[in-house]
Amino acid sequence: MIKLLKTLIIGAFIAPIILTACSTNDVYNDYIALPNKGWGTDSLAVFRTQIDDASASYNLWIQIRNENDYPYSNLWLFIDVVSPDGQMARDTLECILARPDGSWLGGGWGSLYSLQCPYRLNSHFAQSGNYTFRMAHGMRDDDIRGIHSLGLRIEKNEKADGKE
């Protein structure tokens, strides 16, 4: 019975990832597991991807998996985007993880919740090539616990390109 329950729990988390990965609009979709001991301010989550079509419009999402014991209702992120020519742009993003009553947003099972936070919608890349996204948390505590993993999802915005 316990083995069946574990299989169902694992399946509940893997199925959305597989379904999202199968989307024809996804250009990039990846997660980075964060240390169980806590995510330090000096630790970066780094994502690298190739953008082939600079003329297209894209939606970028930050994906957050938090545990039930995460002590805050939000997560501040500092995001550096390095373009193929080495130019860097820095963004600050607040992701709301819980409602005012303390209940978690997003989907979840057990003590783990998953949420996509809009980062840049209907956005264009300046040029084609390799991009690097570096993310650090911007919370007041140096080390935060309860953030299980962080992800970046980039999808081609077919509606904006008139291809729908």
CB atoms within 10 A of CB 104: 19
Helix (H) / strand (E) containing 19? helix 2-21
Helix (H) / strand (E) containing 10? helix 2-21
Q: What is the pLDDT of residue 68?
A: 93
Q: Determine the Cα–Cα distance for residues 131 and 18; give it in Å rounded to an integer.
A: 24
Q: Which two tokens stand for residue 137?
A: 């948390």
Among residues 25, 22, 30, the alpha carbon closest in space to that of 160 is found at 25
User: What structural domains and CATH numbers belong to the chain?
Assistant: 2-156 (2.60.120.1300)
Q: What is the pLDDT of residue 109?
A: 84
Give the CA radius of gyration of the chain. Answer: 17
Which residues in the chain land under pLDDT 50?
4-12, 19-21, 163-164
Q: Determine the Cα–Cα distance for residues 49 and 40; give it in Å rounded to an integer.
A: 24
Q: What are the tens digits of pLDDT across the range 92-125?
A: 999 999 999 999 999 988 899 999 999 999 999 9
Q: Which two tokens stand for residue 159?
A: 């509606």
Helix/strand/coil percent split, the chain, to 5: 10, 50, 35
**What residues have CB less than 8 Å from 132, skipping those under 6 apart?**
46, 47, 48, 80, 81, 82
Q: Determine the Cα–Cα distance for residues 163 and 158; give it in Å rounded to an integer.
A: 5
Q: What is the pLDDT of residue 2?
A: 59
